Amino acid sequence: MNRVNTVTLPAIEAEIAYDVDVAVVGGGAAGIAAAIAAVRNGARTLIIEQRGFFGGMGTVSLVPAFCPFTDHEKPVIRGIGLELLLEMKRRFKSDYRARFEKRLDWVPIDPEILKRVYDDTVLASGSAVLFHTSVTQILRNENSRRIEGLVIHNKSGTSVVRCGYVIDATGDGYIAALAGAPFQKGGDDGELQPGTMCYLLTNVDRIRFEEYLKESGDTDQIPLAVSKAQENGDLPHGRKEVSGFAWVADYLVGVNFGHVFGIDGTNAEDLTRGAIDGRKLVEIQVQFLSKYVPGFEKAHVVATGEQIGIRETRRIVGDYVLTQDDFLEMRSFEDDIGRNSYFIDIHLATSKSKMEIKHLPPGKSHGVPYRSLLPVSLDNVWVAGRSASSDRVVQGSLRVMPNCFAMGQAAGTAAAMAASKGGSNRDVDIPALQKTLIDQGAWLGEDVQARVNGSRAD
C-alpha cells in the first residue's frame, strides 16, 4: 500500500476578524512593550498570544527573576520595561517591597502578580488582546516584501487579521521565517543552548537556608552541596551549581536549576520531551534539596513551567548583524534604539561542555541598532526579542527579558511612526524615533541623549 507524506488541504473562506495598523505576535516581554508603545504612539494595535496570559518565559516557563536592568552603576533599561518592573514591585507585600525597593537587578518574579501587571498595563494602553490564539499562515502577494494579513486559529475557528505592519515577538522569529526571511540557528554544528524546567517551591525556609550558607561556606548557588550529591549519585553529573534561587517570600522560592539537552524550541516533539524530562529532573532536584540543603527539608512543588524554558532558537538575518566584537568593543551606532550591558551567557550544549561568560566593565554597555530589528527581505516587519539579528555569541547576552522590553518598545514606536505615514520599516526617521523613545523614558546612551535633544545622560 503506497502512502504519501503530504495531503492537500481544502481552500477555506475566512472572516476578517480584526483590521489594525499593527499586529504584534507574541505576548512575552518584547511583545508587551511593543503593543504598549505602538498604541501610545497612535497605532490601532492587536497583540496575539498563544497562551491565556502574558509574560513569556517569566510566566509560561517560571523563570524566577528578572536579569539586570543596570550596568552596575545606572539603569540602562528604562522606559516601558522599567515601568513594568516597578509596578510589579509596588504590588508585592510590604516585606518584599522593603527588601527589593532599591534593587533593579535579579528582582524575583511572582508570576501571578506579574500576569496581572501585564494584563492591566496592556489593556490600559488601549491595545486589543487575543489570547489562546495561534498564527498559522501569513498573507502576502507573490514577490511582495510586505505581509498583508495573518491567518489565526483559536476556539472561534479560523479567521484573518488584516494589518499594515507586523512585529514578530514570538522569540523564535516564527512570523519572519514563515514569510521566508533568512535566519540562522544554533552553533556551527547546529547545537543549541539547553532548556531548563524552572519551578516554584513552597514550605521552604529562607532564614535557615542563609544560616546554612554562612556556616558551611557554600555560596547561594550551593556548589558544595551539588558536588557532594553528584559524588553520591543523587544528582546527574554536569553543572556544579544552581543557576539561581529567587526568594519571593521567606517560604516561597523560584528555582532555575539544571538543563535538558538537545531541545529545539521550534520542534513540537522536542518541546514535548523537554516537558516530560524536565518534570522528571525537577523531582530528582527536589529530593536532592530536601536531603542536602537545610531550609528545604519539607519543600513542596507548587508549579513547574507550562513549557520548558528556551534560551536559543532562530536568529533572523537583519540589515545589521550585531557581533561579538560590537559587544566587546562596546560600540555605539547612529541608529541605536537601546543599550545592553548583560554579560554573554551561553549555556553548555552538552553536560561535558563549558559555559561561556564574558562581562563588560561596570558602567559600560553597547548599542543595539535599529537595523538589527529589520529582516532583510521584509518591509513591514520588525523582529524584537531574542531572535533579533546578531551572531550566536551576542544572542547569549541580548536574549534576556530587560533587553526584550527595550527592543519591543523601539519596534512598537517605529511601527506606529511607519503606520502614520504609510511607509516601510526602513523609511522611519531615526532621529525622530530616538527622540520619541527618549521622551517616553528610554535610555539610549550618553551620545544619543546629547545628540537628540541635549538632555542629561544620567
Measured in degrees and rounded to the nearest 5, phi and psi for residue 371 equal -60, -25
Average pLDDT over residues 403-412: 98
Q: Give the pLDDT band of residue 352 (cuts 50, 70, 90).
A: low
Residue 46 has pLDDT above 90, yes or no: yes
Residue 353 has pLDDT above 60, yes or no: no
Which residues are CB-neighbours of 111 under 8 A, at least 6 positions away? 55, 58, 59, 62, 200
Q: Cell numbers of 115, please?
A: 500576569
Q: Where would I find the beta strands (DSSP E) of 140-216?
A: 149-154, 157-168, 183-185, 199-202
Residue 455 has pLDDT above 60, yes or no: no
Residue 430 has pLDDT above 70, yes or no: yes
Q: Give the pLDDT band of residue 49 (cuts 50, 70, 90).
A: very high
Q: Give the pLDDT band of residue 457 (cuts 50, 70, 90).
A: very low
Q: Give the pLDDT band of residue 265 (cuts 50, 70, 90).
A: very high
For the range 432-436, what are the long-range contacts, defined as Cβ-Cβ under 8 Å and sequence gap of 24 or more? 433/337, 433/370, 434/335, 434/336, 434/337, 436/41
* Confidence at residue 234, expressed as pLDDT on a 0 to 100 scale: 96
* Confidence at residue 450, expressed as pLDDT on a 0 to 100 scale: 87
Residue 394 has pLDDT above 70, yes or no: yes
Q: Give the pLDDT band of residue 239 (cuts 50, 70, 90).
A: confident
Decide: residue 265, CB within 10 A, 0-12 exposed, 13-18 middle, 19+ buried: buried
pTM for the model: 0.95
Q: Give the pLDDT band of residue 240 (cuts 50, 70, 90).
A: confident
What is the distance between the alpha carbons of residues 155 and 164, in angstroms, rounded to a whole number?
25
Which residues are CB-neighbours of 43 under 8 A, at least 6 positions away? 20, 21, 22, 165, 412, 415, 416, 419, 420
Average pLDDT over residues 350-362: 71
Residue 185 has pLDDT above 90, yes or no: yes
* Confidence at residue 356, expressed as pLDDT on a 0 to 100 scale: 65
Contact 407, 338 (CB under 8 A): yes
Q: Give the pLDDT band of residue 374 (cuts 50, 70, 90).
A: very high
Residue 349 has pLDDT above 80, yes or no: no
Q: Give the pLDDT band of residue 334 (cuts 50, 70, 90).
A: very high
Q: Which of 119-128, 135-144, 153-162 is the least confident region? A: 135-144
Contact 375, 180 (CB under 8 A): no
* Confidence at residue 449, expressed as pLDDT on a 0 to 100 scale: 86
Residue 442 has pLDDT above 60, yes or no: yes
What is the distance between the alpha carbons of residues 126 and 363, in angstroms, rounded to a whole number?
36
* Confidence at residue 452, expressed as pLDDT on a 0 to 100 scale: 85
What is the distance between the alpha carbons of residues 296 and 294, in angstroms, rounded to a whole number?
5
What is the distance between the alpha carbons of residues 27 and 107, in angstroms, rounded to a whole number?
21
Closest CA to 391 of 333, 324, 341, 327: 324
Q: Cell numbers of 120, please?
A: 492591566
Q: Which of 3-7, 24-28, 143-147 is the least confident region? A: 3-7
Average pLDDT over residues 66-93: 97
Percentage of the chain beyond pLDDT 90 is 88
